[in-house]
Amino acid sequence: MRLHVMLSLDFSDAKENRYSFNKFLEAKGWEKLTAVDTVWHREFGYSQSNAYLVAHTLEKDLTDAAKEFKPHSIEYVAQIGNAAPIKCGVVKKPAGYEHVTR
C-alpha cells in the first residue's frame, strides 16, 4: 500500500530563493507537478492508518525549509490518501477546449 501526498503551498518572499527552495524540496523526495504553480507530490510506503507519519514528515520538511530560506511564512494545504493525483488540463484547440491528461 502506498500513500500519496499532494501539496500546494505559498512561499512568501520567494522571488530570490524560488529555485533553491524547489531544489530543497526535490532533495526531500518531492516532485513538482508540471503545468501548475507550486503544487508538489510525494509517495510514501505507508498504509492509510499511518497518515499521521506522513503529516509529521510534511511538517518537518516545511519547517526545515523555513529555517533554511527564512520566509515570512509558508502556507500550505495537503491531501494525503491512497490515490495518486491526476495530472490534467483544459487546453484551447482550434476546434474548442479539450481536456488533456499530462
Q: What CATH number does the domain containing 87 carry?
A: 3.30.70
List CB contacts of 8: < 8 A, sequence separation 6 or more: 38, 39, 40, 76, 77, 78
Average pLDDT of every residue of the chain: 90
Report yes or no on whether pTM surpasses 0.85. no
Provide the number of structural domains found in the chain.
1
Helices (H), 1-102: 18-27, 51-69
Check residues 4 and 84 and name the one with the higher pLDDT. 4
**Position 18 confidence tier, pLDDT thresholds 50, 70, 90:** confident
By residue range, what is the domain housing residue 52? 3-101
pLDDT digits (tens, 9 = 90+) for 42-73: 999 999 999 999 999 999 999 999 999 988 88
pLDDT at 87: 82
pLDDT digits (tens, 9 = 90+) for 84-93: 888 888 999 9
